[in-house]
Amino acid sequence: MSEQGQGGGYPPPPPPPPIGGYPQYNYPPSQPSSTFPDNAQSTSNVSQDSSTSYNYHMINMGTELIPTTQHYQITPSTNPLQTNLQNDPYQLTIEISEKTQPESKTIHYGEAPSIQPRRYTQKEIKLSDGHFVYDCPVPTGLTTKVPLKEKEFDKVRYTACTCDPDDFEREKYTLRQKTYERDTEIFIVITMYNEDAKLFARTFHGVVENIRELCERDRSDMWKKDGWEKVVVCIVSDGFEEINISTKAYLSAIGVYQEGVVKKEVNNKPVTAHIFEYTTQLCLDPENMKPLEVHTPIQVLFCLKEENTKKINSHRWFFNAFGKILEPNVCILLDAGTKPGKKSIYHLWKAFDNNPSIGGVCGEIVAMKGKYGKNILSNPLVAAQNFEYKMSNILDKSLESVFGYITVLPGAFSAYQVGPLASYFLGEKLHNQKLNDQKIKTGLFEANMYLAEDRILCFELISKRDESWLLRYVKSASAETDVPDKIIELIKQRRRWLNGTFFASLYAISHTFNIYRSKHSILRKILLSIEMFYQTYNLIFSWFALGNLYLIFYILGNSVAQYANWELIIYNVLKFIYIALIVFQIALAMGNKPGSTRLAYIFSTLFFAFIMIHMLIAIGRITYISIKDSQVKIDGLNLKSVQNILSDFYFRNIVLSLLSTYGLYLIVSLLSFEPYHMISSFAQYMLLVPFYVNVLNIYAFCNIHDLGNKRRSQEKKIDVPEDVDEEYEKVRSILLDPKTRNDLQRQGETKERQEEEQKESNAKFRTYLVSS
């Protein structure tokens, strides 16, 4: 029995054809398949008496063959390879005729076999300038649900790119918007790694709502009913093996992605990026994954990178590859999971429209609070970050915007009028250790500096030679983002932020004089110099933050201890615990990864919070006693009253100090008409101040050698059906069934992961033993 006999669950071979052949049969129209087997055998000969279907993959012939759902065979009387190679080496025409398989008279009982026979056709694809480009039909179930039926909505264009993003234009690749001769006003990029479908859907739904709002601006000269033609949404996923299964299913469900047409190499050249272009009219609800009736067309460009080359490389594809082709006026950066607020994209664009000298803007990033603010009320970590984000927007961003230099335009939600500079992408070379023509210095300073590459970009923009770009904060544009709700996740995130911020700030401060080579006015250069002095002060203060916090604890404890012996005992015990916790944090940070010592970090955070409670009580008691014993007499708002306040030691050093810090938070929040975070998040933030200062800083600086950007664990792959409509139905079932989505998230751990956990367990034992 042959390999394709009845063993292994395969269907039996067909019986020999009857005398005279089979009667002609007309198949109903069907959709092309989306599967092209990567391991198809290369061949240069076709058997003259072949009676079975083959998948051909012609090497170095200038042509790629795509299978579809109908069953075709080579005509026995022709030899297409020999005929066409004499005429055109870049085009291969195969003459095919259709035959059918007779119905077997054998009676079968039971269920149909799990592996069903499929029908294919060999379809010729002529390479365009040596590039593999194919217009794939979208599933019929998708096209019947949308109002517009033009070719743009019936075909998804696939391009197998084999070059570096910097060579995209030089290698004569192009995009559909260029073919349609459309001008691109706004170019939006959504970068992702392996975020699940819910996170991606949240971002994509927010973008769709913003584009629909642009199309409803009938009075605008720029935006009207067809305003969607001026907006392109680019989705860049970092790694073919890393993309989340549910996210890939979401993209398939809206017609953007088809698994089967993906090629791994073209003419012996490895594919670097799989590019899908489609104008979708569907958007799924982020909560239940059901289609929403939002039929605004969205021009989507999906770039699935073959290798995991980090976010900065994704931005290089966006700016240097696609941006050069589309030549947009405004580029907007979003991270998967960040949902832009209503009209936010319009407000970002309007900032550039009003002031051509603006090079970059950012909006307000808001922590996602959940329904009725449940995330803040139930989790003190989320509440503390909500307060941190709010005060940063109210105080830092607003002040920096006045000077014209925003120290960081967050990559999760920002916009640029000009493409990034060459120095922005230098960080990619530092991390990947790809040394080309020139030797690149890869010290820890430079490597950590480019962990915050967006900060480097901001400084390079405002200090660019012979330019006068400004950076602005747009309060009316906002975006919601998920913040870490677990201590370990927050530690990992802030390690990268703190190290990158520190070294990027050192770089900016040390290159302050670059500002004077720009074309800014004298007044602007003075303002920027003042801001750089302010940044220097902040950097020095943050460097000594750990010691300053302990000094505050020490002074407050000594001050309170003099009132009673029991307070002296409590202070001495807490002082010992404080010092022990600091030493313990150093041991944890240098010996273990946070994930393996979760309980130790929770224990440390709780003890630091208890110490902070003691400090707040001490502040309250000292303030009360100081005011009670104070000799200050305030007689109206006059000079004598001010002199009385400043001459009193306790009132001046304690009460005024408290008002200038905590009172400032309340005053500016009221002036901004946003006092709610003071009520819901202020207390949680105050309790976690020692955690921010001690735990996060110690872990970050003890791991400056760690340049990796750890992400979520990788997901396993699923087999995708060969039929387009069957594939579409399967991805819909994945998205609509909560149990299926949850099962996809709970994939088994790999052997490597188990070995890593064993190493961490051993390291944890060592740390606890040394600390004890």
What digits encode the pLDDT tens for the residues 157-181?
A: 999 999 888 888 888 899 988 888 8
Return mean pLDDT, the chain.
75
Weakest mean pLDDT among 52-66, 194-208, 300-314, 628-642: 52-66
Mean pLDDT for the stretch of residues 526-536: 94
> What percentage of the chain carries pLDDT values higher than 70?
67
Q: How confident is the model at residue 273 (pLDDT cuts 50, 70, 90)?
A: very high
> Lowest-confidence range among 218-222, 477-481, 499-503?
218-222
Per the CB < 8 A criterion, the answer to whether 96 and 80 are in contact is no
Give yes or no for a contact between 677 and 669, defined as CB atoms under 8 angstroms apart. Answer: yes
Q: Is the pLDDT of residue 472 over 80?
A: yes
Per-residue buried b or exposed e for 421-459, using 16+ beta carbons within 10 Å of the residue's own CB: eeebbbbbbbbeeeeeeeeeeeeeeebbbbbbbbbbbbb
Q: How far is CA 73 from the centre of its chain?
A: 46
What gap in Å lies between CA 643 and CA 634, rounded to an integer?
Answer: 10
Question: Please, what is the angle between helix 598-629 and helix 565-591, to 10°?
Answer: 150
Cβ proximity of 99 and 50 under 8 Å: no
Q: Which residue has the higher pLDDT, 154 or 581?
A: 581
> Helix H segments across 118-238?
140-143, 151-154, 176-179, 197-215
- Tell me, rounded to whole angstroms, the distance of Cα 539 from its chain centroid: 28
CA distances 721 to 284, 391, 708, 727, 760, Å, are 22, 51, 36, 5, 40
Of the candidates 261, 358, 362, 360, the residue with the CA atom closest to the CA atom of residue 302: 261
pLDDT of residue 420: 62
364: phi then psi, degrees, rounded to nearest 5: -85, 125
Regarding predicted confidence, which is higher, 747 or 734? Answer: 734
pLDDT above 80 (res 711): no
DSSP per position, 747-760: PPPPHHHHHHHHHH
pLDDT at residue 757 in the model: 61
Sign of CA dihedral 201, 203, 207, 209: positive
- pLDDT, one tens digit per residue, over 446-467 is 777 767 778 888 898 899 888 8
Which residue has better confidence, 218 or 616? 616
Partners of 481 in the β-ladder: 367
pLDDT of 709 reads 52
Percent of the chain scoring above 90 in pLDDT? 29
125 and 64 in contact (C-beta within 8 Å)?
yes
Q: How confident is the model at residue 139 (pLDDT cuts 50, 70, 90)?
A: confident
**Residue 595 confidence (pLDDT) above 60:** yes
Q: Can you tell me the distance from the alpha carbon of 603 to that of 54, in angstroms, rounded to the nearest whole number?
A: 64
Model confidence over 650-681: pLDDT tens digits? 666 777 777 788 888 899 999 988 889 889 99
Q: Residue 178 has what pLDDT? A: 86
DSSP letter, residue 163: S
Q: Which positions are catalytic?
A: 454
Strands (DSSP E) found in 507-587: none
The pLDDT value given to residue 122:
53
> What pLDDT is attached to residue 332?
94
Mean per-residue pLDDT, 522-548: 93
Give start and end residues of each alpha helix (H) in 144-283: 151-154, 176-179, 197-215, 245-253
- CB count within 10 Å of CB 594 equals 23
Question: Domain segments of the chain: what residues?
Answer: 1-105+114-126, 128-337+706-736, 545-701
Cβ–Cβ under 8 Å, residues 376 and 433: no
